[in-house]
Structure 1
Amino acid sequence: MSSRDADDTAGPVDQARRFAATHFPDALGVVLAGSTASGRTSATSDLDIAVLIEDGGETRRETLRFEGRLVELFVHTRAGLEGLFAADAASRRATMQHMYADGLVLFEREGAAARAKRHAEEALLKGPDALTPATVESRRYGLTDALDDLVDATDVVERLAVAGVVLSAAADLLFDHHRAWAGGGKWLPRRLLQADPRHGAALLDGHRRLCESGEPQGLASAAADVLTLAGGPLREGYARTWNSAAPVSEAAPDRT
């Protein structure tokens, strides 16, 4: 972090320390994550704060305001943190693991936050479990279908809607191809570029150009390249069965 970045973030970081001292003086550890910890803070940035407390407490998430700034608060016991790590790994986003691994330790007792940080770093290095072959097939089929719709779309609004589906579906397959952690919202482009600078950048550039000009070919070409990495287009021969007692995790494309 440059000296300018340090100066820019000193205020919010000190604010986070005051919040921790005021609300959680007995915590095992307090970690500041998000844009403030990474030096991307702005006047409207909130404070993402993870708080490790003694067992017997309550694991919860809460949004509140402190000294005029929003605070996104994640409070958890040791057992609660393990549960959050497991749930976030299953979601393939590892949100809490990234908070600890990339965050700034504001306070800790007996190395508790440092241990949690190391645990998070190890989990991130391992990466998410690979998608099952059936899930990959379903997503290949879905992306193939969405690409057909993207090329055929004549309505501007429909084309933009389908473009979002194509970007999301291609990103999911690209993340799985590299066993990389996924992301949503502003973290989708960041994680895409981390996972695959070439294909990720092509997807994002194609999506941007479509939004700006309506031209779909760049996005269609980039998504087709990702589809090739995942095994290629899938149309004829695709079939699925469902157990009626189990939830359907992969909805069929809307062909109406």
Structure 2
Amino acid sequence: MDPQPEPGPRLDSDQSAADVHAAGRLVSARYPEAIGAVLGGSAARGRSTPTSDLDITVLLPDHGARRREVIRHDGRLAEVFLNSRADLRTAFAESRRTRRATALFLFADSVVLDDPDGHVETLRQEAHVLLAAGPDPLTDQERDARRALLTDLLDDLADAGPDSDPYEQLAVADRILREAAHLLTAHHRTWNGAGKWLPRRLRAADPDLGRRLLDGHLALARHAAPAPLSTAATRVLDLAGGPLREGYVAPAGALHPGADATGAGDHG
């Protein structure tokens, strides 16, 4: 399934027009050095409310200092990402490695606020191309590390009896969902996500198995029923090569995902 940007901007509502106007005023007032700016996030997709924050990316001259600012302007909260063109291209490339395309989506699914020299539009087109190409595939080492971790987590869930601490069980389930989502989106070469974007990206990657993972997590949270999540996560594990226990060797200095500096992972 080819990854696609979110539905394009819908600027036919009063709220959308107000968002664009507010974002434009903010950029003009606070960042006179800007050589371009876009409004992204829910505001760009016509899904914001009067209390939603504004996600703004400001393009700086090449000597500008890259930073992130959370500010309030004219009563509106805004999260502002300030980058030079080189900074953004570095962030775009990093997105392919981490498989989370926050910067790419914010720029591709955006409303142009200011672009006097065409730099913004050039970067938007680059973002669209990279989104369509999808993230880098997992290396064998990365895949094995995540297989080993998910295997370990599923064993922990299976070991939990009816009298298990429900907080511990839910904490394990949360990690299983995240790790299974990472493996499943990687299997389909689609983008992963965090927070509210994890279920959105998961359903986009695999509507059937993604939904089973989410439903399984919900069943455990609501009813302390681990079987649906375990079954769905095991299916994901099978797609990635199956469980990995004995025989797994991590290269010296490599930590599996979630391990601390001792390599101990989630065991204490």
Q: 2:4 corresponds to which residue?
A: none
- One-letter code of the match for 1:234? L
Q: Equivalent residue for 1:170?
A: 180
Alignment of 1:51-66 (within 5 A): 51-66=58-73
Distance in 1 (CA, whole Å) between partners of 2:9 and 2:109 is 17
- Indicate if the aligned counterparts of 1:147 and 1:166 stay in contact, CA closer than 8 A: yes
Q: What is the aligned partner in structure 2 of residue 16 from structure 1?
A: 23
SS class of match (1:40): coil
CA displacement at 1:72 relative to structure 2: 0.6
CA separation of 1:4/1:90 partners in 2, compared to 1, >3 Å: closer, same or farther? closer
- Checking the alignment, whether the CA contact within 8 Å between 1:62 and 1:73 is kept in structure 2 is yes
The answer for the alignment partner of 2:45 in structure 1 is 38
Q: How does 1:203-218 map to 2 (within 5 A)?
A: 203-218=213-228
Return the structure number with greater relative CO, CA threshold 8 A, min gap 6.
2
Deviation at 1:126, TM superposition (A): 1.4
Structure 2 counterpart SS, 1:160 = helix
Deviations 1:182-240 (A, max 9, x none): 11111111111111111111111111121111111111111111111111111222222
Contact 1:145 1:253 in 2 (8 A): no
The separation in 2 between residues aligned to 1:236 and 1:81, in whole angstroms, is 42
In the TM superposition, what is the alpha-carbon distance from 1:152 to its structure 2 partner? 2.1
Whole-Å separation in 2 of the counterparts to 1:19 and 1:255 = 48
Distance, in Å, in 2 between the alignment partners of 1:3 and 1:85 is 25
Q: Distance in 1 between matches of 2:10 and 2:24?
A: 20
Cα RMSD of the aligned pairs, angstroms, is 2.1
2:109 maps to: 102
TM-score by length of 2: 0.87
Q: 1:254 to 1:71 in 2, by over 3 A?
A: closer
The residue type paired with residue 15 of structure 2 is D
Matches within 5 A, 1:223-238: 223-238=233-248
| Residues 1-256 of structure 1: pairs in structure 2 closer than 5 A | 6-153=13-160, 154-243=164-253, 248=255, 250=257, 251=259, 252-255=264-267
Deviates more, 1:23-32 or 1:183-192: 23-32
Q: SS in structure 1 opposite 2:82?
A: strand
C-alpha displacement of 1:42: 2.2
1:18-47 CA distance string (max 9 Å, x none): 112222345322110111111221233111
Alignment deviations for residues 33-83 of structure 1 (CA, whole Å, 9 cap, x no partner): 111111221233111100112222222211111112211111111122222
Deviation of 1:155 (Å): 1.6
How far did residue 254 of structure 1 move? Answer: 3.6
Separation of aligned partners in 2, 1:90 and 1:219: 27
Q: Which amino acid in the other structure matches residue 33 of structure 1?
A: G
CA displacement at 1:104 relative to structure 2: 1.1
Give the TM-score, by structure 1 length: 0.91
Report if aligned partners of 1:131, 1:176 keep a CA contact under 8 Å in 2: yes
In the alignment, what sits opposite 2:5? none
Letter in 2 for 1:8: Q
Corresponding letter in the other structure for 2:26: F
Shift of 1:3: 8.1
Give 1:191's aligned amino acid: R
Which secondary structure does the structure 1 equivalent of 2:193 belong to?
coil
Q: How many residues align?
A: 253
Other structure's SS at 1:58 match: coil
**Secondary structure in 2 aligned to 1:71?**
strand
SS in 2 for 1:135: helix
Contact 2:57 2:81 in 1 (8 A): yes
CA distance in 2, matches of 1:26, 1:167: 43
Q: Which amino acid aligns with 1:37?
A: A
Runs (5+) with no aligned partner, structure 1: none
